[in-house]
Amino acid sequence: MLYYIIGTTYSEPNKTNKLERIKFYAEKGAGVKHGDIKIWRSHVAELLGGHSEYNYNNWRGGVYAGYKFT
């Protein structure tokens, strides 16, 4: 669900504050020690930092670069 929320927000047309909202969402998981949340935050950072491109299947389709979600 976290990937879907980011994907939906990122793909919103003409929303000037969408990147700030994505950063806000990711910061909410900063204190969570669960490994999947850490990986999700890493993927969000890569997206926002321009180190990965937005792909519908990765963010809204639930498949991130071969990562198996549990």
The sign one gets for the Cα dihedral 11, 14, 20, 25 is: negative
Domain that holds residue 31: 2-59
Average pLDDT, the chain: 84
Give dist(CA 26, CA 41) in Å, integer: 6
Q: What is the pLDDT of residue 62?
A: 61
Identify whether 48 is part of a domain.
yes
Q: Is residue 11 part of a domain?
A: yes
- pLDDT, one tens digit per residue, over 35-56 is 889 989 999 999 999 888 888 8
Residue type, 43: H
- Tell me if the pTM is above 0.85: no
Please check whether residue 53 lies inside any domain of the structure.
yes
pLDDT tens digit sequence for 3-14: 889 999 998 888
Number of domains forming the structure of the chain: 1
